[in-house]
Amino acid sequence: MRVGVVVPAYNEEKLIGKTLSTMPELVDRIFVIDDCSTDATSEAAAAVHDPRVEIIRQPKNTGVGGAIITGHRRVLDEGLDVSVVMAGDAQMDPDYLPALLDPIADDDVRFTKANRFYTRTSTAGMPAYRQFGNVVLSVMTKFSSGYYHLFDPQNGYTALHRDALSRLDLDEIAANYSFENSLLIHLNVLRVRARDVPIPAIYGDEVSTMRMRKVIPALLRTLIGGFWMRIWRKYVFPSFAPFALLFFSGLALTTLGVGAAVVITVLALNDVTASPATVMISIAPLLAGIQLLISALSMDISESPD
């Protein structure tokens, strides 16, 4: 396979040289996407003097996702077989690149990503609040994306075969810090086989530019909107799959049961005793709805392309 590496970089003057100088020989092309940096990121990348490196300067800052999308387009234009993403802050160990590529080369997997949570010590150096946040986001992304066997979705160390990349509508994928989550959702709609690869992260002098007040609302919008988009495109249109019948019926019955329970509670607070029949109006649809939703979840898990 011919391998292209996309290196999104924003103000990475100090670490971009280290990232590029440690790139393995198996890499054929390296695309450094300077996302409108205000420092000498491009100059530091050029100083490595690696003939494989092509520096692309974005005319305006598009976010990490936008930079990666620009790189993916260049990989397709160059006719390369695999597009790998490695951040410009030297956090992603290039020695593990073969482990990321092997499932694609050998097992017909079309997307692989690093997972830092494979042992209790593999996240050493990651702040506790980031570990907690990653676990919460991982669980939410499982339900949103439909990849229940994947974890650590915010890990951007990924490899994507051109067969899957060429099928994606890159204009639909989030260009901000929600890129990885949005990518998983769209890959699942296309039923692309994906796999986690145990790879530790390297923590050093890098400085995060994330602003949680902006990132968290964007992530929630991506996950919630992406969930409904996936359900529609995968199970409703063009064919109304059994999952859709179970899910929407369960959702309707659960909503009816919860609504009836609220009415009964309000009546009870006003000293009005509900009859057994009235109570059953709440309990019966609620239990039936929950059972249908559990069945729908089981079906969705079984549909996860692994």
The domain that holds 11 is classified in CATH as: 3.90.550.10
**Strand, helix or coil at 15?**
coil
Confidence of residue 93 (pLDDT cuts 50, 70, 90): very high
Average pLDDT over residues 31-38: 96
- For residues 281 and 185, state if they share a domain: no
Domain boundary among 204, 236, 268: 236
Burial of 195-216, coded b for 16+ CB within 10 Å and e otherwise, reads bbbebbbeeeeeeeeeeeeeee
| Domain membership of residue 263 as a residue range | 242-302
- For residues 192 and 261, state if they share a domain: no
- For residues 188 and 259, state if they share a domain: no
- For residues 40 and 158, state if they share a domain: yes
The percent of residues in the chain predicted with pLDDT above 90, rounded, is 75
CB atoms < 10 A from the CB of 34, how many?
25
- For residues 203 and 280, state if they share a domain: no
- For residues 59 and 198, state if they share a domain: yes
Confidence of residue 274 (pLDDT cuts 50, 70, 90): confident
Q: How far apart are CA 246 and CA 231, in angstroms?
A: 12
- Show the tokens assigned to 295: 């069945």
Residue 264: HSE in the Cβ half-sphere, 13 Å Cα cutoff: 17
- For residues 79 and 224, state if they share a domain: yes
- For residues 89 and 192, state if they share a domain: yes
- For residues 277 and 153, state if they share a domain: no
User: How many domains, in total, are found in the chain?
Assistant: 2
Provide the angle, in degrees to the nearest 10, between the axes of the packed helices 212-231 and 128-145. 20
- For residues 179 and 199, state if they share a domain: yes
Q: How far apart are CA 259 and CA 229, in angstroms?
A: 26
- Show the tokens assigned to 29: 């092309």
- For residues 183 and 136, state if they share a domain: yes
Respond yes or no on whether the N-terminal peptide bond of residue 94 is cis (omega within 30° of 0).
no
Higher pLDDT, 94 or 208: 94
pLDDT on residue 204: 60
